């Protein structure tokens, strides 16, 4: 089966890309993956499948991606270095390509102590940048780590994450530059709520010319409630939610807060479209995937290109 | 140094219960520095065990001796002639010391009184910090002398991860983010260019715990 990355196709044609995140179920439930995929079909270009996100055991990303592929969707395999050593990672990279999966997002992963297996051993044989380098070497040089030749190279569009909101701020762009140098071709950022800081970061990105070397997709998570905004503001590391956003959410009655969250999300997409170097958005509507088609529609991003 | 902590007294009492004559052997090196296995700790443990024996009307005879180093043959040899008079040795050496003594005296059970923990430094009185994993491939000079393997929760060579906020590690909020220290350290040294490098995967085959490692040096033989 000839297969190509829809995400790469959309981005290289100069369209503003839309990707969404899909969390696999906590069980051997293929239908749950397929249903989420069908819900997103037509509304997005590609679908990221998380890899045991927050260290919680779920159906594996590789299998979920294969299920989405069968549905005619373009999955993005998220792969973390927390759980597998370089033998398993490289093996899964080959397997993913063989199954027709054409995108990979290389991550180090949330620390195991945050999940439901806190006593597990964190592997971290490679870090995320080394994983990017590995996939790139496998694809470009047809070689695994150590130099052994592959009988066939994997065909994968290589992605990485960037968090403009972690500290120290000046370093965040250096880290992304390293990812680009290692071989990343697209970037999906941490959730953007603090647009001002994101804009400052994008200035640094453009100063280094990185916006011309990598496709940057702004990450967004619609807020469901004022409570969620407050929780994320105070409890989630690496998350930057300005106080005025919490105040805005609190300012509407509880039953209208979801609506307000979607509205904020749509406004942010429109603001991102105006920023030079932002080539798309990545929607992480956690356990709220049904919100995605509506957001994309209201943002005026339908229909998606073929 | 190698750090260790004394096992709970109950565990030690259970361990020594089959034996009547006990030689308690301390070590004057690392474990003395971290106040777990030196002469003073040997004395305290000996008193506690004798007191317990009296209270439980168990028969027990002990003798205390502290070697300068329990992991070096010349010092272990001081036990020759003495060890035969005892049913067992309760060692307050680190794991290396216990095994070195056991190898010299294979007829005698050597019981570990300590749990050996890590390679670390004495930060202040009563505080010891782990800062080396014995990876066998030291690259501290590239990271402002902060070990990313030991001190970053994800042992990232190209960190920090996205969870570093306000200079703290998201996994252990009371601990500084190692990469924050690397970056501020390199900044202070005017060596920020080192942050731009992409560091390749580590060679874990040299690491502690991977196998039975040894150092052979002919010039020392």
- Which pLDDT tens digit goes with each residue over B50-74? 999 999 999 999 999 999 999 999 9
B220 pLDDT above the threshold of 90: no
Q: Are residues B34 and B104 in the same domain?
A: yes
Of B154, B170, B199, the CB nearest to A124: B154
DSSP state of B220: G
Looking at residue A253, its pLDDT comes to: 96
Helices A291-298 and A30-40: crossing angle in degrees, nearest 10, is 10
Q: Could you give the C-alpha distances from B192 to A5, A170, B162, in angstroms and in order?
A: 37, 11, 19
B55: CB partners within 8 A, 6+ apart: none
Q: Are residues B97 and B195 in the same domain?
A: no
H-run or E-run covering B129: strand B127-132
Asked if residue B124 is part of any domain, the answer here is no
Q: Are residues B146 and B183 in the same domain?
A: yes
Contact (Cβ atoms closer than 8 angstroms) between residue A189 and residue A268:
no
Q: Which of B85, B118, B151 is the last residue of a domain?
A: B118
A2 pLDDT above the threshold of 70: no
Q: Are residues B76 and B37 in the same domain?
A: yes
Task: Label residue A149 exposed, middle or buried (CB < 10 Å: 0-12, 13-18, 19+).
Answer: exposed
Of A126, A190, A238, the CB nearest to B201: A126
Does B154 sit within 8 Å of A129, measured CB to CB? no
Looking at residue B163, its pLDDT comes to: 82
H-run or E-run covering B103: helix B95-104
Asked if residue B220 is part of any domain, the answer here is no
Q: CA A261 to CA A82: how far, in whole Å?
A: 32
Asked if residue A306 is part of any domain, the answer here is no
Q: CA A304 to CA B112: how far, in whole Å?
A: 68
Looking at residue B221, its pLDDT comes to: 86
Does B195 sit within 8 Å of A238, measured CB to CB? no
Looking at residue A214, its pLDDT comes to: 98
A287 pLDDT above the threshold of 90: no
Residue A195: CA count within 13 A, CB half-sphere: 14
Instruction: Extract the tokens encoding A60.
Output: 């594996």
Residues in chain B within 8 Å Cβ distance of A123: none
Asked if residue B9 is part of any domain, the answer here is yes
B28 pLDDT above the threshold of 90: yes
> Which CATH number goes with the domain that contains A275?
3.20.20.220
Instruction: Extract the tokens encoding A124.
Output: 């971290």
Asked if residue B191 is part of any domain, the answer here is yes
What number is the average pLDDT over the span B14-39? 97
Domain containing residue A46: 6-298
Asked if residue A1 is part of any domain, the answer here is no
Q: Are residues B78 and B6 in the same domain?
A: yes
A45 pLDDT above the threshold of 90: yes
B219: CB partners within 8 A, 6+ apart: none
B164 touches chain A (CB under 8 A): yes
Asked if residue A33 is part of any domain, the answer here is yes
| Total number of domains in chain A | 1
Beta bridge pairs of residue A106: A79, A160
Q: Are residues B96 and B182 in the same domain?
A: no
| Total number of domains in chain B | 2
Asked if residue A305 is part of any domain, the answer here is no
Q: Which residue of B has its CA nearest to A161?
A: B162
B199 touches chain A (CB under 8 A): yes
A1 pLDDT above the threshold of 60: no
**Residue (of A172, A85, A163) closest to A130 by Cα position:** A85
Asked which of A5-14, A78-87, A180-189, B197-206 is least confident by mean pLDDT, the reply is B197-206
Looking at residue A283, its pLDDT comes to: 98
**Residue (of B137, B218, B144) closest to B184 by Cα position:** B144
Distance from CA of B109 to the nearest CA of A (A): 33
Of B155, B171, B198, the CB nearest to A182: B198
Residues in chain B within 8 Å Cβ distance of A108: 154, 156, 161
Does A171 sit within 8 Å of B201, measured CB to CB? no
Instruction: Extract the tokens encoding A134.
Output: 């590995």
Q: For A182-226, what is each residue's pLDDT tens digit?
A: 999 999 999 999 999 999 999 999 999 999 999 999 999 999 999
Asked if residue A304 is part of any domain, the answer here is no
Contact (Cβ atoms closer than 8 angstroms) between residue A117 and residue A57:
yes
Looking at residue B162, its pLDDT comes to: 85
What number is the average pLDDT over the span A278-282? 98
Q: Are residues B10 and B98 in the same domain?
A: yes
Domain containing residue B40: 2-118
Q: CA B26 to CA A146: how far, in whole Å?
A: 46
Q: CA B158 to CA B195: how far, in whole Å?
A: 8
Q: Are residues B159 and B112 in the same domain?
A: no
Q: Are residues B104 and B43 in the same domain?
A: yes
Does B162 sit within 8 Å of A167, measured CB to CB? no
Does A127 sit within 8 Å of B156, measured CB to CB? yes
B103: CB partners within 8 A, 6+ apart: none
A26 pLDDT above the threshold of 60: yes
Of A127, A174, A181, the CB nearest to B157: A127
Q: Which of B63, B84, B118 is the last residue of a domain?
A: B118
Asked if residue B29 is part of any domain, the answer here is yes
Mutation target to probe the A interface, by most A beta carbons within 10 A, among B169, B179, B201, B207 is: B201
Q: Which of B90, B118, B146 is the last residue of a domain?
A: B118
Asked which of A76-85, A98-107, A166-175, B106-115 is least confident by mean pLDDT, the reply is A166-175
Residues in chain A within 8 Å Cβ distance of B198: 129-130, 133, 178, 181-182
Arithmetic mean of pLDDT over chain A:
96
Q: Are residues B17 and B90 in the same domain?
A: yes
DSSP state of B172: S
Looking at residue B165, its pLDDT comes to: 79
Distance from CA of A134 to the nearest CA of B (A): 9
Residues in chain B within 8 Å Cβ distance of A177: 196
Q: Are residues B34 and B96 in the same domain?
A: yes
Looking at residue B209, its pLDDT comes to: 67
Q: For A128-149, what is each residue's pLDDT tens digit?
A: 999 999 999 999 999 999 999 9
Contact (Cβ atoms closer than 8 angstroms) between residue B69 and residue B30:
no
Q: Are residues B44 and B76 in the same domain?
A: yes
Does A108 sit within 8 Å of B198, measured CB to CB? no
């Amino acid at each position: 089966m000839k297969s190509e990355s829809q995400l790469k196709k959309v981005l290289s044609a100069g369209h503003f890309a839309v990707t969404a995140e899909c969390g696999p179920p906590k069980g051997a439930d293929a239908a749950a993956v397929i249903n989420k995929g069908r819900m997103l079909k037509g509304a997005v270009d590609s679908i990221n499948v998380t890899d045991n996100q927050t260290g919680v055991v779920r159906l594996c990303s590789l299998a979920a991606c294969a299920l989405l592929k069968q549905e005619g969707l373009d999955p993005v395999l998220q792969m973390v270095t927390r759980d597998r050593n370089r033998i398993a990672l490289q093996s899964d990279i080959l397997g993913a390509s063989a199954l027709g999966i054409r995108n990979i997002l290389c991550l180090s992963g949330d620390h195991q102590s945050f999940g439901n297996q806190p006593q597990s051993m964190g592997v971290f044989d490679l870090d995320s940048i080394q994983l990017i380098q590995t996939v790139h070497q496998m694809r470009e040089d047809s070689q695994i780590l150590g130099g052994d030749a592959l009988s066939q190279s994997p065909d994968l569009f290589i992605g990485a994450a960037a968090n403009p909101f972690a500290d120290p701020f000046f370093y965040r762009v250096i880290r992304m530059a390293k990812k680009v140098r290692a071989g990343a071709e697209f970037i999906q950022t941490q959730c953007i709520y603090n647009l001002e800081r994101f804009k400052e970061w994008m200035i640094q990105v453009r100063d280094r010319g990185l916006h011309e070397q990598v496709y940057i997709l702004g990450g967004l998570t619609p807020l469901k409630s004022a409570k969620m905004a407050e929780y994320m503001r105070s409890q989630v590391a690496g998350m930057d939610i300005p106080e005025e956003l919490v105040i805005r959410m609190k300012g509407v009655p509880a039953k209208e807060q979801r609506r307000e969250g979607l509205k904020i999300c749509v406004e942010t997409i429109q603001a991102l479209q105006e920023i030079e170097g932002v080539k798309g958005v990545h929607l992480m509507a956690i356990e709220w995937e049904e919100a995605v088609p509506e957001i994309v529609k209201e943002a005026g991003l339908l229909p998606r290109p073929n | 140094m190698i750090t260790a902590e004394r096992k709970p007294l109950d565990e030690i009492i259970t361990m020594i219960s089959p034996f009547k004559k006990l030689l308690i052997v301390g070590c004057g090196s690392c474990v003395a520095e971290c106040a777990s296995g030196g002469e003073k700790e040997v004395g305290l443990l000996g008193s506690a065990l004798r007191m317990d024996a009296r209270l439980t009307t168990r028969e027990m005879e002990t003798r205390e001796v502290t070697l300068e180093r329990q992991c070096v043959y010349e010092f272990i040899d001081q036990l020759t002639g003495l060890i035969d008079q005892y049913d067992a040795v309760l060692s307050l050496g680190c794991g290396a010391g216990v095994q070195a003594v056991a190898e010299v005296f294979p007829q005698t059970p050597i019981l570990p009184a300590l749990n050996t923990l890590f390679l670390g430094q004495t930060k202040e009185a009563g505080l010891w910090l782990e800062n080396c994993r014995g990876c066998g491939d030291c690259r501290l000079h590239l990271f402002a002398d902060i070990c990313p393997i030991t001190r970053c929760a994800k042992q990232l060579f190209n960190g920090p991860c996205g969870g570093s906020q306000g200079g703290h590690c998201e996994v252990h909020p009371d601990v500084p983010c190692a990469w924050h220290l690397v970056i501020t350290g390199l900044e202070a040294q005017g060596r920020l260019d080192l942050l731009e490098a992409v560091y390749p995967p580590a060679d874990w085959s040299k690491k502690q715990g991977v196998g039975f490692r040894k150092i052979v040096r002919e010039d020392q033989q």
